[in-house]
Amino acid sequence: MSERLNPRQQALVERVKRERSCSVESLAAAFEVTPQTIRRDILQLEQLGLLRRYHGGVTLPGGADNLAYTTRQTLLSTEKRLIAELVAQHIPDRSSLFINLGTTTEEVAKALHRHSGLRILTNNLNVAMTTCDYPEAEVTVVGGVVRPRDRGVTGEVAIDLIRQFNVDYAVIGISSIDLDGTLRDYDYREVRVTQEVMAQARQVFLVADHSKFGRPALVRLGELRDIDAFFTDIPPPAGLLAALQGSKTAVHVAQPSEPAAEAAPRHARKHRPR
């Protein structure tokens, strides 16, 4: 299974998000391909958990469950890496930070490997294992119940420990960003931990690729306009930018670059809603 969607598949997902459901025939006509090609696309997208087939058409998946962790690890991995590299440019050496659950936040942890003197607090055992050998790093893992599927730690014990800390940055992931700017996730216990992290951070950085735009999820976390900086891989839809008008939120869009040593302005475009 490919880890990266081709442009037609990305556009197909975005079309279904806008229209909520589409017939195979209408999609084939819109993309000027055969119905057989569209059915193959839909099958792959359903296997990734991005769409759900029904007889003669396709719709969005239900909002009760997240994608499997192994699927999320490979889905849009290049985009997640670019986002992570951009975030790392905004975190100085010797910062204190919390990194929460998610495959994109795990990429941020990897991108910090050249930093020194970081004090990292996390409820993600994958992040702890990645960062514990970084130069002069101090890594603290919060206590609580470990989820076997992704090695995440949640629960009241985790929240109690988080309340004892105040960090420079919270780097958080999310499962869904509604087009009105509402942030959503699937697990209430995970949301409670993330809300506490946000309350204990001087700046909150949200990392999320474009597949999270308009995706259904059950539990409300907060509002995008309350985030200090949002890092993503394509410019957000106009409706989402409109929801940010007048807010403090800076939007950073990661872009592929040629030489790794290029300066940050060549790496990203910054959108600040007016």
State the DSSP H helix or E strand holding residue 196, giving kind and residue range, or none if neither: helix 188-199
CATH entry, 7-59, from 1.25.10, 1.10.10, 1.10.260, 1.20.120: 1.10.10
The residue length of the chain stands at 274
Is 258 within 8 Å of 272 (Cβ atoms)? Answer: no
pLDDT (tens, 9 = 90+) of the chain, 274 residues, equals: 345 788 999 899 888 877 777 889 889 999 999 999 999 999 989 888 788 887 778 877 765 455 565 565 566 788 999 999 999 999 999 999 999 999 999 999 999 999 999 999 999 999 999 999 999 999 999 988 888 878 889 889 999 999 999 999 999 999 989 989 999 998 898 899 999 999 999 999 999 998 888 877 889 999 999 999 999 999 998 889 999 999 999 999 998 764 443 333 334 556 655 5
The pLDDT of residue 258: 45
70-271 shares the fold of 7-59: no
DSSP E strand stretches across the chain:
21-23, 52-54, 57-59, 96-99, 119-122, 138-141, 145-147, 152-154, 167-173, 176-177, 182-185, 201-207, 219-223, 229-232, 250-254, 268-271
Q: What is the CA radius of gyration of the chain?
A: 19
Is 175 within 8 Å of 208 (Cβ atoms)? Answer: no
- Burial degree of 34 (CB within 10 A; 0-12, 13-18, 19+): exposed
Assigned token pair, 18 = 């806008």
The pLDDT of residue 185: 92
Integer angstrom CA distances of residue 79 from 49, 82, 127, 147, 194: 18, 5, 19, 26, 23
The pLDDT of residue 147: 84
Q: DSSP assignment, residue 263?
A: -
Assigned token pair, 181 = 């700017």
Where are the chain's structural domains?
A: 7-59, 70-271
The pLDDT of residue 148: 83
The pLDDT of residue 273: 56
The pLDDT of residue 1: 38
pTM: 0.73
The pLDDT of residue 58: 85
Is 109 within 8 Å of 125 (Cβ atoms)? Answer: no
CATH entry, 70-271, from 1.10.3720.10, 3.40.50.1360, 3.30.2130.10, 1.20.120.430: 3.40.50.1360
Instruction: Name the H helices within 4-140.
Output: 7-19, 24-31, 35-47, 69-74, 77-89, 103-111, 125-131
